[in-house]
Every structure is written in C-alpha cells, then in structure tokens.
Amino acid sequence: MTAATRFRAVAVGCSAGGLEALRQLLAPLPREFPLPVVVVAHMAPDGGSLLAELLESVCRLSVAEAEEKAKALPGHVYVAPPGYHLLVEEDETFSLSVDEKVCNVRPSIDVLFQSAADTWGCGLIGVVLTGANSDGTAGLRAIRQMGGYCLVQDPTQAFADTMPRSAIDAGLADCVLPLAALAGQLMALAPPQPRRGGR
C-alpha cells in the first residue's frame, strides 16, 4: 500500500494560538477532501465552544462538534466539545468522556490520538500544531507505533513552541513543516479521488 492510498483519517491537536493555526490548516482543504479530520483544541470548559462555528466560516469542509455515536465521515471536520475527552471507537464512531484530565486538560490530544491510532492504525495522520504544553507527544508515539504518519508544525513559527518541540525532541515527527505548508502535505498524503465523468 502506497503512502498516497493508505491513509483513512486525520487527527489534529493544538493549544495556545490554535484557532489561527487551525484556520490556516483547514481553510485550503477542498470540499472533496477524502478523509475525516478530528480536532482537539484546548479550551475553557465553561464558556461553550464557538470553535466549530468559527472554523465553519472559513472552511469548505463541513465543521461540527463531535457527538456521541456519530460516525467520522470523509470531508468533515469534527471538533471535541469543551470539557470532554473525544475518543474514536472501533466502528469509527465517536464517544465522549469526562474521565480524569490528561496533561491537566480535557479534552486531551493524547486521548484522541491514542484511540484514533487504535482504530485507524497505519491509516492515521497525526498533526501537532502550536501549544504550550506536552499534550500530543504520547499520542504521536501511539500513532507511530501503529505505523501512522506524524506531522508537526515548525516550532520556530508557532505561536507557542512547547508542544511541537516536545514531539520533535521525542523523535516522533515524520515531517516538520511551516504552518502554511501543512495543508498541502495533507492533500498530498490523501488518497487520490476518482475522476468525475463528463466531457
């Protein structure tokens, strides 16, 4: 199976500075992007989340908060609701948890990445963006162990460099790119789409 055909999903994690990073990552993706994109962004648990609405306004993909038992579908972006860990089950549906915080946060990037790696195995692309703690490093390790692909934002250009540096220092980055190049890399890794009929 080649790199261009094996991937089945994308999991993204970010913290401080994450909204702008997500806008730049997701806005260029085409409406027919053939993979589901699942996002954990650290946020205040008590204020409600406008993240999905803000991303929807700049994305061609459909964006929504992940809901219990909803299936991860291609061409959609799913955002973890505030205050809940987001997990992916074996049947590619979501579950929400209020278990203990991980890295002092809930939702946790590690929790998403680890469950998504169990589900999609070598078909998962993990993306670590800007952030001010080490959440995501253990999750990338799980993705790497399952044969997935680990993509990390260049920390020298990140709003907060701790999270991407932690992943890089742990030796878990298959590719380190500036934010502006990440969407193009995702499109290059995604399975090719069949040509539509017509003249």
Burial label, 171 (beta-carbon count in 10 A; 0-12, 13-18, 19+)? exposed
Establish whether 91 is a catalytic residue: no
Q: Given this model, what pLDDT does residue 146 score?
A: 96
In a domain, 191, yes or no: no
User: pLDDT at position 49, please?
Assistant: 66
Mean pLDDT by 10 residues, the chain (199 residues): 72 95 96 96 70 92 96 96 95 95 92 98 97 96 97 97 97 97 96 59
Catalytic residue among 76, 85, 135, 161: 135
Model pLDDT, residue 6: 87
In a domain, 44, yes or no: yes
pLDDT given at position 170: 97
CATH assignment of the domain containing 131: 3.40.50.180
pTM over 0.75: yes
Structure tokens at 37: 């994109």
Could you give the CA distance from residue 52 to residue 35 in angstroms, rounded to a whole number?
A: 18
Q: Into how many domains does the chain fold?
A: 1
185 in any annotated domain: no
Q: Does 118 participate in catalysis according to the annotation?
A: no
In a domain, 71, yes or no: yes
Q: Which domain holds residue 108?
A: 3-177
Q: Is 85 a catalytic residue?
A: no
Confidence (pLDDT) at 192: 80
